[in-house]
């Protein structure tokens, strides 16, 4: 090697130039290109990348709960599970493996799911596995037990790797622990937990929480990345509602309403609203037949039978819509005589009349050539306003209406809130139909005076009538008192809202006197509740339009609106039975007893101590003493002192057991059956007779003849002719001798229109 | 100086110290490359082989073999290559012909790039690069000013052209371009006249254009079409490019962090091969990517420095050819993955998966180190 073979100067320069050119080119070209992609365009590219890499799974937020006023649960969200398939992964398997996986999935899942959904047959699920989609729901909202079965099935078949194709996701399911209770108020939710009726619908936005998200990364095959990347946004539970409704009062209202709807063979259901007249709080709102919000798409047996009829004129969806309809706010009706409360309030407030002002009822009255007549044949003759109210005399009220005049009548009609929806926090409130002042001629005024030819909702009526007895204040009725978030913080409290004062305190006081008289002096004597002062007004309205439309006859709405305690009213109860087809269709016989039973149960519950008159005390049931261990002679002595009779069964000397047992209440004159033999087989069984249609004394005789006891309920006032209309243990039932049967009485003579 | 004595005593091994700087750069790039290969490949490896370590374990073994080989070769006097330069060239031609005769290894028919011996396989074009560097270095260092004459330029271009022609009909366009450019750079450094450079460059460009638009028309023109607009077929021909760009863009200035790439989860096809740098960009960000680019530049700078201080032209040209090859391959790879130039199969030295290629690369770095032992570069 020689020196000349070393790189020459020129070559060194060339090497340097090439090196420099390379480094400059590399750093500048690549550096700027990368800079553009990574910094200038980076965000855009990154978001495009995220779009393909990440998938969002929405985690449904649990819906808020619904509580009654004492925080008892009425509706809650339970965890449920969604079973789904990921069928498009199956196609990547080998042919034989594919078939095996599909068959295994179809047979395994159908075995688990077929009992809860008859549609999920092997073939159906097999067809799902053929689909080329990423996600297909097999069954929504199954219970944990079913989800666990699916998980076990998946792990049992782990050798086939079916975990890649079956998924179980948590979701929520609405659950109503009290079944049908308050269903008209609560409403129900649809498949996606969206509120479809009632409060669930009205407060849907409040109850619906903020759905959470699971942002998971997937690889290009659509699988979750094995080295997982997940962002979870917790689902936020929706706010809960605290209602003004009291579960117990609601239960009582529903119990007696249902009894009445069945006993009176109501053609178009029944409704009941219980409202606090001083605050506008709804304590109960019942509709029968209603539905079970857990299974809102199931019809009652009666409705199914109706549908099964050969010439069925109704469709399933009509029947479903009917059972979901909240009659108390959605349906309008002609209030009939109950509306006389409003007419009388107007006249008293305008000083057009007084309680003792007299009217003349000559049976018929002509208004502009139209003839109206009183329900009492021959008329009432001369009668005071108070008496006209007690007797529900239409001619007298037509006269009062004429005094008021159409302009004042319309003014008050509006002031009582009858021209507008009440604005209660429930969906689907019906709009009233009424005569505008301009269109109100003498005949329209006449019929409106006694509550016909216009239609309002039961909710409007109870709100307006409450104003007339609570001192004149028209209130905003409401169902939700508080909105509470998932941590228990109160988000919103609803306060009593007075819309306006419609009549004066003194007019209102006069109205209370009249309402009390209606119950105590006839008219609504069936609403009498021993120990309490109840006021109210009955109503029997003809469904004129429906009768004309259908050609049917005898379609009525029997209603009663009662207040208690009437001297310082707290509660209003409105009962309406739509199209009663029983023995009677009058409000006084059909609806008033329902209100009486309700008041009898709820007033003590609400803390009102009964104040019995001496006569009431006399007829009142007393406690049966405990006779066990006593000799027959001792027992006889003790019972006679209390006014009971004794019947001994067996040969023993001392009493081993008795019916009714010690401490139970029994009407005076009742029989206590005492057993003296150890052999329990000796208990004698008797058949409950049919008490309906019998008077109190006839019932007592019938009961004594078979050896059972009766408890009298309802209108058992001496002096009025009351007969039994229902009994709590059905006729023909075998019971032990001495069992107590509750028998309900009413006055069938109280008639009004 | 004892140096004189040593020179007169030709020996198979040489005694001078190797250049620690160059060695360090090689080892640093290799280490980063291995770490990134593991990161980029494990999801792919796990999915298709049920084992996250399939690629990295194999590559690591080859890296160890390669480093050992590199150190051994650095001890050997590189002048042995000069002696065997023709043999190497002819053997290389033989391999290039063989690969065309053998049935294709890849799934794509008519693509014949690989020769396999047992469980090893290699691309003869890798050897071809080396062969061209050796033959050019040998010829240019032996013939000095002759290169200024036209007939010798023709001779050199013939040597280069034969290799390029054999590689391009494999077809392997990117290797052809690499070999061609390395050859030209060596001619430039070797002292070819400027007009031949310009003329040659013109001819080269023309040749590439002709090849692209006529010879392999379906292969080339579609590449150009989807190069200009990869979104025209986002799930087909444009897929790889788009996925690469999404990975690069996802990196942003600072990157997602090592191991945190999402695009490596099967989005970027074969993220361990040519497109490994996309994953590097996603994980290490612009800063990390630029650090690696600077390391490649440093390697080129140090290789060229060795060349400038080399005791003879042969060593000098050898060092230039071999380090320039690494740098050129790096720049072309990054230009491909950033869709700056059309997509051609070109791997990233020290990073991309491929055991034989890594061993060949490290062996070549051993040759550069061998040159450094006799160069008068200041050594640490």
The three-class DSSP label of residue A51 is: helix
Q: Is residue A178 part of a domain?
A: yes
Q: Is residue B1 part of a domain?
A: no
Looking at the complex, report in whole angstroms how far the Cα of residue B191 sits from the nearest Cα belonging to chain A: 7
**Band (A657; pLDDT cuts 50, 70, 90):** confident
Q: Is residue A17 part of a domain?
A: yes
Quote the percentage of chain A above a pLDDT of 90: 44
Average per-residue pLDDT for chain A: 87
How far, in whole angstroms, is CA A554 from its chain's centroid?
29
Which residues of chain A have a CB within 8 Å of the CB of B314? 5
CATH number, domain with residue A439: 3.40.710.10
The secondary structure of A462-479 as a DSSP string is: HHHHHHHHTTSEEE--BS
Q: Is A40 on the interface with B (CB under 8 A)?
A: no
Would you call A19 and B300 a contact, using CB atoms and an 8 Å cutoff? yes
Q: Is A22 on the interface with B (CB under 8 A)?
A: yes
**Of A38, A52, A227, Cβ closest to residue B267:** A52
Residue A205 has pLDDT above 50, yes or no: yes
> Do both A129 and A83 map to the same domain?
yes
Which residues of chain B have a CB within 8 Å of the CB of A23? 297, 300-301
Would you call B266 and A220 a contact, using CB atoms and an 8 Å cutoff? yes
Among candidate residues A611, A627, A644, the one where a domain is terminated = A611
Question: How far does chain A reach from its first CA to its final CA, in angstroms?
Answer: 136
Would you call B262 and A6 a contact, using CB atoms and an 8 Å cutoff? no
Residue A211 has pLDDT above 70, yes or no: yes
Looking at residues A24-30, what average pLDDT do you find?
93
Residues B240 and B268 sit within 8 Å (Cβ to Cβ) = yes
Which residues of chain A have a CB within 8 Å of the CB of B250? 42, 45-46, 49
Residues A342 and A359 sit within 8 Å (Cβ to Cβ) = no
Which residues of chain A have a CB within 8 Å of the CB of B297? 22-23, 26-27
The secondary structure of A252-318 as a DSSP string is: HHHHHHHHHHHHTT-TT-EEEEEEETTT-BEEEEEEES---TTSTTPPPHHHHHHHHSTT--S-HHH
Q: Is residue A310 part of a domain?
A: no
The secondary structure of A564-612 as a DSSP string is: ESTTS--EEEEEEEES--SS---HHHHTHHHHHHHHHHHHHHTT-----
* Two tokens, residue A198: 């009632």
Number of domains in chain A: 4
Length of chain B: 380
Among candidate residues A184, A209, A242, the one where a domain is terminated = A242
The three-class DSSP label of residue A72 is: coil
Residue A644 has pLDDT above 90, yes or no: no
DSSP 8-state class, residue A93:
S
Residues A319 and A306 sit within 8 Å (Cβ to Cβ) = yes
Q: Is residue A142 part of a domain?
A: yes
Q: Is residue A257 part of a domain?
A: no
Best A7, A36, A40 residue to mutate vs chain B (most B CBs within 10 Å) = A7
Residues B325 and B32 sit within 8 Å (Cβ to Cβ) = no
Alpha helices by DSSP H, listed for A489-538, are 505-520
Average per-residue pLDDT for chain B: 86
Q: Is residue B380 part of a domain?
A: no
Rounded Cα gap, residues B366 and B360, in angstroms: 10
Tell me the sheet residues that pair with A647: A673
* Two tokens, residue A476: 């905003």
| Angle ∠(A64,A69,A72) on CA atoms, nearest 5 | 60
Quote the percentage of chain A above a pLDDT of 70: 94
> Do both A602 and A707 map to the same domain?
no
What pLDDT is attached to residue A573?
96
Q: Around Cβ B271, how many Cβ atoms within 10 Å?
A: 33
Judged by average pLDDT, the poorest of A193-202, A591-600, A692-701 is: A692-701
Residues A692 and A724 sit within 8 Å (Cβ to Cβ) = yes
> Do both A35 and A61 map to the same domain?
no
Best A5, A28, A40 residue to mutate vs chain B (most B CBs within 10 Å) = A5
What pLDDT is attached to residue A269?
93
Q: Is A226 on the interface with B (CB under 8 A)?
A: yes
Kindly name the residue from A337, A399, A508, A559 that is annotated as catalytic. Answer: A337
Residue A602 has pLDDT above 90, yes or no: yes
> Do both A644 and A725 map to the same domain?
yes
Q: Is A13 on the interface with B (CB under 8 A)?
A: no
What pLDDT is attached to residue B219?
54
Would you call A217 and B262 a contact, using CB atoms and an 8 Å cutoff? yes
DSSP 8-state class, residue A658:
E
Q: Is residue A288 part of a domain?
A: no
The string over B278-295, giving b where at least 16 C-beta atoms fall within 10 Å of a residue's C-beta and e elsewhere, is bbbbbbbbbebbbebbeb
Rounded Cα gap, residues B367 and B77, in angstroms: 9
Nearest residue of B to residue A51, measured between CA atoms = B246
Q: Is residue B7 part of a domain?
A: no
Return averaged pLDDT per consecutive 10 residues of chain B, 380 residues in all: 47 82 96 95 84 91 96 92 93 92 69 80 90 93 82 88 89 87 89 80 76 57 77 81 92 90 86 93 95 96 92 92 95 93 88 93 95 76
Which residues of chain B have a CB within 8 Å of the CB of A219? 43, 47, 265-267
Would you call A18 and B189 a contact, using CB atoms and an 8 Å cutoff? yes
**Of A14, A23, A37, Cβ closest to residue B338:** A37
> Do both A20 and A131 map to the same domain?
no
**CA dihedral for A700, A704, A706, A710, sign (positive or negative):** positive
**Band (A234; pLDDT cuts 50, 70, 90):** confident
Q: Around Cβ A547, how many Cβ atoms within 10 Å?
A: 14
**Of A10, A15, A225, Cβ closest to residue B265:** A225
How far, in whole angstroms, is CA A401 from its chain's centroid?
37
Which residues of chain A have a CB within 8 Å of the CB of B334? 30, 33-34
Looking at residues A646-655, what average pLDDT do you find?
79
Please state whether B233 falls in left (phi above 0), alpha (psi between -120 and 50) or beta: beta
Pairing of strands A473-475, A364-367: unpaired
**Band (A313; pLDDT cuts 50, 70, 90):** confident
Looking at the complex, report in whole angstroms how far the Cα of residue B167 sits from the nearest Cα belonging to chain A: 25
Rounded Cα gap, residues A50 and B249, in angstroms: 11
pLDDT digit string, tens, across residues A61-112: 888 999 999 999 999 988 888 898 888 777 777 788 888 888 999 999 999 9
> Do both A89 and A135 map to the same domain?
yes
Q: Is residue B198 part of a domain?
A: yes
Q: Is residue B129 part of a domain?
A: yes
Pairing of strands A230-233, A212-217: antiparallel
Residue A2 has pLDDT above 50, yes or no: no
Looking at the complex, report in whole angstroms how far the Cα of residue A155 sits from the nearest Cα belonging to chain B: 21
Best B50, B78, B265, B376 residue to mutate vs chain A (most A CBs within 10 Å) = B265
Looking at the complex, report in whole angstroms how far the Cα of residue A89 sits from the nearest Cα belonging to chain B: 14
> Do both A660 and A569 map to the same domain?
no
Alpha helices by DSSP H, listed for B268-311, are 276-308
> Do both A420 and A538 map to the same domain?
yes
Which residues of chain B have a CB within 8 Å of the CB of A12? 308
Quote the percentage of chain B above a pLDDT of 90: 50
Range(s) of the domain holding residue A219? 56-242
> Do both A408 and A446 map to the same domain?
yes
Would you call B281 and A41 a contact, using CB atoms and an 8 Å cutoff? no
Would you call A30 and B331 a contact, using CB atoms and an 8 Å cutoff? yes
Range(s) of the domain holding residue B357? 16-374
Bond into B135 cis (ω within 30): no
Question: How far does chain B reach from its first CA to its final CA, in angstroms?
Answer: 20
Residues B351 and B38 sit within 8 Å (Cβ to Cβ) = no
What pLDDT is attached to residue A116?
85
**Of A6, A39, A53, Cβ closest to residue B253:** A39
Q: What are phi and psi of A135, to 5 degrees?
A: -150, 120
pLDDT digit string, tens, across residues A373-420: 888 888 888 999 999 999 899 999 999 999 999 999 999 999 999 999
Best A4, A10, A11 residue to mutate vs chain B (most B CBs within 10 Å) = A11
What pLDDT is attached to residue A80?
86
**Band (A3; pLDDT cuts 50, 70, 90):** very low
Q: Is residue B189 part of a domain?
A: yes
Q: How far is CA A543 from CA A116, A257, A578, A585, A752, in A?
A: 44, 20, 9, 12, 16
Q: Is residue B5 part of a domain?
A: no
Residue A550 has pLDDT above 80, yes or no: yes
Residue A616 has pLDDT above 80, yes or no: no
Residues A119 and A128 sit within 8 Å (Cβ to Cβ) = no
What pLDDT is attached to residue A721?
67
> Do both A621 and A742 map to the same domain?
yes
**Band (A249; pLDDT cuts 50, 70, 90):** very high
> Do both A546 and A636 map to the same domain?
no
The residue among A57, A78, A156, A79 whose CA lies nearest residue A112 is: A156
What pLDDT is attached to residue B8?
46
Best B25, B248, B349 residue to mutate vs chain A (most A CBs within 10 Å) = B248
Q: What are phi and psi of A175, to 5 degrees?
A: -140, 130
> Do both A9 and A143 map to the same domain?
no
Q: Is A39 on the interface with B (CB under 8 A)?
A: yes
Q: Is residue A657 part of a domain?
A: yes
The residue among B353, B374, B295 whose CA lies nearest residue B42 is: B353
Among candidate residues A242, A262, A290, the one where a domain is terminated = A242
Would you call A46 and B250 a contact, using CB atoms and an 8 Å cutoff? yes
Radius of gyration of chain A (CA): 37
Would you call A45 and B297 a contact, using CB atoms and an 8 Å cutoff? no
Looking at the complex, report in whole angstroms how far the Cα of residue A90 sits from the nearest Cα belonging to chain B: 16
DSSP 8-state class, residue A436:
-
Q: Is A682 on the interface with B (CB under 8 A)?
A: no
Which residues of chain A have a CB within 8 Å of the CB of B335? 29-30, 33
Residues A625 and A638 sit within 8 Å (Cβ to Cβ) = yes
| Angle ∠(A531,A535,A538) on CA atoms, nearest 5 | 125
Q: How far is CA A331 from CA A322, A325, A326, A461, A650, in A?
A: 10, 8, 7, 12, 60
Number of domains in chain B: 1
Q: Is A42 on the interface with B (CB under 8 A)?
A: yes
**Band (A655; pLDDT cuts 50, 70, 90):** confident
Q: Is residue B9 part of a domain?
A: no
Q: How many interchain CB pairs under 8 A, A with B? A: 156
The reply to whether A337 belongs to the active site is yes
CATH number, domain with residue A170: 3.90.1310.10
């Amino acid at each position: 090697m020689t020196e000349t073979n070393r790189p020459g100067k020129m070559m060194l320069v060339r090497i340097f130039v090439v090196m420099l050119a390379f480094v400059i080119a590399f750093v500048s070209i690549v550096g700027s290109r990368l800079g553009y992609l990574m910094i200038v365009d980076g965000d855009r590219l990154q978001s495009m990348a995220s779009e393909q890499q990440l998938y969002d799974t929405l985690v449904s937020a649990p819906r808020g709960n619904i509580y009654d006023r004492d925080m008892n649960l009425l509706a809650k969200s339970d965890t449920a599970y969604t079973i789904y398939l990921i069928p498009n992964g199956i196609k990547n398997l080998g042919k034989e493996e594919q078939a095996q996986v599909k068959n295994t999935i179809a047979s395994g899942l159908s075995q688990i799911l077929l009992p809860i959904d008859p549609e999920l047959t092997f073939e159906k699920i097999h067809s799902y596995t053929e689909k080329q989609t990423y996600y297909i729901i097999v069954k929504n909202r199954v219970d944990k037990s079913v989800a666990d079965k699916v998980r076990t099935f998946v792990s049992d078949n782990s050798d086939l790797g079916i975990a890649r194709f079956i998924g179980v996701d948590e979701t929520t399911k609405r659950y109503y622990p009290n079944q049908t209770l308050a269903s008209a108020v609560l409403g129900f939710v649809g498949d996606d937990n969206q509120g479809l009726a009632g409060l669930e619908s009205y407060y849907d936005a409040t109850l619906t929480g903020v759905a959470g998200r699971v942002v998971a990364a997937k690889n290009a095959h659509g699988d979750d990345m094995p080295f997982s990347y997940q962002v979870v946004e917790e689902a936020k539970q929706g706010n809960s509602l605290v209602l003004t409704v009291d579960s117990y009062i609601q239960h009582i209202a529903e119990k007696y309403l249902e009894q009445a709807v069945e006993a009176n063979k109501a053609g178009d259901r029944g409704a009941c609203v219980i409202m606090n007249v001083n605050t506008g709080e709804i304590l109960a709102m019942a509709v029968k037949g209603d539905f079970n919000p857990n299974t809102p798409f199931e019809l009652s047996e009666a409705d199914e039978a109706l549908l099964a009829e050969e010439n069925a004129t109704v469709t399933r969806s009509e029947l479903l819509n009917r059972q979901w309809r909240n009659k108390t706010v959605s349906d309008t009706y002609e209030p009939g005589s109950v509306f006389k409360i409003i007419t009388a309030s107007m006249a008293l407030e305008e000083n057009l009349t007084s309680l003792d002002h007299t009217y003349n009822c000559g049976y018929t009255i002509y208004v502009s050539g139209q003839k109206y007549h009183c329900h009492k044949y021959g008329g009432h003759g001369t009668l005071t306003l108070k008496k006209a109210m007690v007797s529900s005399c239409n001619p007298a009220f037509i006269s009062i209406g004429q005094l008021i005049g159409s302009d004042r009548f319309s003014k008050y009609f509006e002031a009582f809130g009858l021209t507008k929806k009440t604005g209660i926090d429930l969906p689907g409130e019906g709009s009233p139909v009424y005569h505008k002042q301009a269109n109100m001629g003498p005949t329209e005024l006449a019929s409106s005076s006694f509550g016909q030819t216009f239609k309002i909702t039961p909710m409007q009526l109870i709100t307006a009538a409450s104003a007339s007895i609570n001192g004149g204040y028209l209130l905003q009725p409401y169902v939700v008192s508080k909105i509470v978030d998932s941590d228990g913080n109160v988000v919103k409290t609803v306060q009593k809202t007075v819309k306006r004062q419609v009549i004066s305190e003194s007019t209102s006081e006069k109205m209370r006197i009249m309402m009390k008289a209606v119950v105590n002096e006839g008219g609504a004597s069936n609403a009498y509740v021993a120990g309490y002062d109840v006021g109210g007004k009955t109503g029997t309205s003809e469904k004129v339009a429906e009768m004309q439309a259908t050609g049917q006859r005898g379609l009525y709405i029997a209603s009663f609106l009662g207040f208690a305690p009437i001297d310082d009213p707290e509660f209003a109860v409105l009962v309406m039975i739509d199209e009663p087809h029983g023995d009677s269709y009058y409000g006084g016989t059909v609806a008033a007893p329902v209100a009486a039973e309700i008041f009898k149960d709820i007033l003590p519950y609400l803390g009102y101590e009964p104040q019995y008159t001496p006569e009431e005390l006399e007829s009142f049931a007393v406690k049966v003493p405990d006779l066990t261990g006593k000799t027959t002679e001792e027992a006889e002595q003790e019972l006679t002192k209390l006014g009971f009779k004794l019947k001994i069964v067996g040969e023993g000397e001392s009493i081993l057991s008795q019916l009714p047992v010690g401490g139970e209440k029994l009407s005076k004159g009742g029989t206590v059956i005492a057993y003296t033999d150890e052999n329990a087989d000796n208990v004698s069984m008797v058949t409950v007779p049919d008490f309906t249609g019998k008077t109190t004394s006839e019932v007592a005789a019938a009961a004594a003849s078979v050896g059972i006891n009766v408890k009298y309920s309802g209108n058992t006032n001496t002096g009025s002719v009351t007969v039994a209309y229902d009994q709590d243990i059905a006729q023909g039932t075998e019971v032990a001798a001495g069992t107590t049967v509750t028998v309900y009485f009413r006055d069938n003579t109280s008639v009004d229109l | 100086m004892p140096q004189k004595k040593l020179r007169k005593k030709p020996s198979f091994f040489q005694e001078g110290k190797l250049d620690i700087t160059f060695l360090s750069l090689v080892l640093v790039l290799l280490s980063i490359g291995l770490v990134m290969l593991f990161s980029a490949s494990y999801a792919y490896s796990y999915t298709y082989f049920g084992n996250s370590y399939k690629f990295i374990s194999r590559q690591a073994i080859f890296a160890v073999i390669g480093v050992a080989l590199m150190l051994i070769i650095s001890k050997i006097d590189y002048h042995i290559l000069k002696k065997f330069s023709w043999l190497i060239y002819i053997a290389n031609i033989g391999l290039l012909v063989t690969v065309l005769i053998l049935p294709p290894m890849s799934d794509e028919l008519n693509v014949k790039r690989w020769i396999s011996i047992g469980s090893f396989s290699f691309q003869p074009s890798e050897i071809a690069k080396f062969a061209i560097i050796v033959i050019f270095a040998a010829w240019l260092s032996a013939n000095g000013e002759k290169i200024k004459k036209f007939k010798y330029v023709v001779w050199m271009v013939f040597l280069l052209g034969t290799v390029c022609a054999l590689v391009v009909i494999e077809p392997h366009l990117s290797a052809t371009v690499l070999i061609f450019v390395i050859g030209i750079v060596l001619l430039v450094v070797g002292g070819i006249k400027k007009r031949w450079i310009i003329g040659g460059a013109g001819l080269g460009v023309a040749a590439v254009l002709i090849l692209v638009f006529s010879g392999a028309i379906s292969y080339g023109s579609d590449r150009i079409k989807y190069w200009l607009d990869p979104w025209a077929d986002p799930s087909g021909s444009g897929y790889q490019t788009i996925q690469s760009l999404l990975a690069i863009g996802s990196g942003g200035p600072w990157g997602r962090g090592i191991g945190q790439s999402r695009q490596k989860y099967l989005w970027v096809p074969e993220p361990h091969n040519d497109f490994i740098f996309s994953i590097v960009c996603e994980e290490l960000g612009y800063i990390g990517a630029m650090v690696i680019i600077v390391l490649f530049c440093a390697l080129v700078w140090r290789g060229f420095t060795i060349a400038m201080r080399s005791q003879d032209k042969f060593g000098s040209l050898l060092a230039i050819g071999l380090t320039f090859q690494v740098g050129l391959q790096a720049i072309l790879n990054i230009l491909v993955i950033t869709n700056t130039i059309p997509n051609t199969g070109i791997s990233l030295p020290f990073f991309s998966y491929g055991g034989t290629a890594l061993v060949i690369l490290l062996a070549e770095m051993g040759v550069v180190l061998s040159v450094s032992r006799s160069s008068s570069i200041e050594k640490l």
